[in-house]
Structure 1
Amino acid sequence: MNTQPKSTRVRLHSHITQSRFLHVEEALNVGWGKLRLFAGRYKRSEGMKAYVFHFLDLPDARVIFDALARGEQGFRYKEYKGTPPRDGHPAVSRALSIAVKGENVYIELKTGPGKLTNTGAITPNGPAKVEVNVSFKLYEARRMAASVLAYIHAWDVMRMMVNQHLVSQPSPYLVVSATSEANGISTAPANGISKPNGTVTLPADVANNGRPVTCKTSQPAAEAKTPPITNGRSRNGYAKQNDNNSPQQLLFYGDGTPVSADNQTERTTYARYRQAKGAVPPSKSALLQYYQQQTAV
């Protein structure tokens, strides 16, 4: 799914001040998906003085950037992560703090010596060696968050399209007539009873005493006529229920090959395979092998 070289990253947004910067970069191919925050201090004509980075889990990133996009007042977030000791190198602690205060937003990244706890977490072990605090105006933070959320949403859609043979098939849309008359849309006049085509009945005649003139014998109301059904749909465009000609659900093998819609034996065996194995058959040949095993019993 991720086609860019391993030595590069997609940069989603950059915020640069007179002496600080913060880049939000994609790392969605890491684990279950992450975003990389890369911040630093610099001085014009002298270059970067210090930098620090932090990997943010995608579920946390959704909540954080949604709060920033809405400008949620009083929002605060803090987390501690790090790298465990390996190859003779000590543990490294990384901390991220985010705070919304009025019209300002502060994002702080720290890194320094860490300590591995009994639970496997990394906590700070002494003062931070590098600390970068980047400030935003509220609108700047909202603009950054909107860009990040738009990218995450597009990535979600692309991920579902690539793996569409693994996800549930959505139901079709309900298609109705484009005209108000066919849909039975009615108006609601102040006086009179509304009709499907928008016409109204006149109010009853009023006698001199102010009471409506009525007949002594009541007339039965006309029976409502059910609109005829045509080609599986009623006149108002609603789909006919329990239609035997409704299309079958599309099924796919693990390699993306579709299951034959006309072969009932293949579809039945496919369903039995999923029920027995808890997964879709990886290929048509695998399903055939499963079918032969079942029929040989």
Structure 2
Amino acid sequence: MDVWLFLASLLLTVATTRAHRRRSRWTVPPWTYRRSVLASVGLAVPVWCWSHWSGGVPSRASLATVAGAFLGGLVTTTSTVGLAEENAPPSPGVRQKVLAYHAGLRYPAEPRLKRVLDVTLALLGLAVTAPLWIVVALLIWFEEPGPILFIKNSVGRGGVTFRQLKFRSMRYDAERLTGPIASPACDPRTLRCGRWLRRWHVDELPELVNVLNGSMSIVGPRPLRTVLVQRYLEEIPGFAERHVVRPGIACIAQIEKYHIAPAERLRKDKVYIRRMSVGMDVRMLGRAVVTTVRGERES
């Protein structure tokens, strides 16, 4: 019964949205997606109630109804705009310019057991936070039906551009008018749930996947977008030196300040690179937890 309710609510959501799309001939507005999901749940719940009271269908079948309706809405938006938004990917020319600044740099050896710590914590983090991913996806999609994830093209070790995964915390196509810019404090383009995601760094949970594939570490210099790094490399001498190690989810600059100037970021990242060790990573993770809980960023 669970499977039938799941499939029925999923197909009902998809059919409702597509019917409205054919009728309007224009892009379906966000409220139509939400209404299709709610209508699907509203029609499937009476079936579940009748089956529950007459045939002893377990209560978990109601969750299958909601999950199917939401997945149906996700399918309809994904078919239009995709599951992840990749905004302003850098051109091959920009990537080559960034790589050129990293020629001849000295790359220090990674401390022993650092990679073991990264993989262990990433696997543990994914296992513990798996239910939270579903809640976050629901919050993002219902506030603005569209992509759940955001792909941030960032500079990693050696100046190589990699695809950094995040939960989408800003409105879809937020940089259409501004172009690639660093998000300022109290950015009006941020979703309401996005403010909560950023406050508790929940938007960074998908970066655990980057840690597993080796493009990031749990602790290290915070990765920045390639299109912005190109400008910093031209303006700040030695800025490429922060890319001699894997970028990290947590870093000194992030722990101490939410918004920080590139030159100051470079200085703090070089401190970490000089002192890099597994013990320091553990201490910095402890500080990151404390500052996140307290909401403190100035230090």
TM-score after normalising by structure 2: 0.21
More helix by proportion, 1 or 2?
A: 2
More strand by proportion, 1 or 2?
A: 1
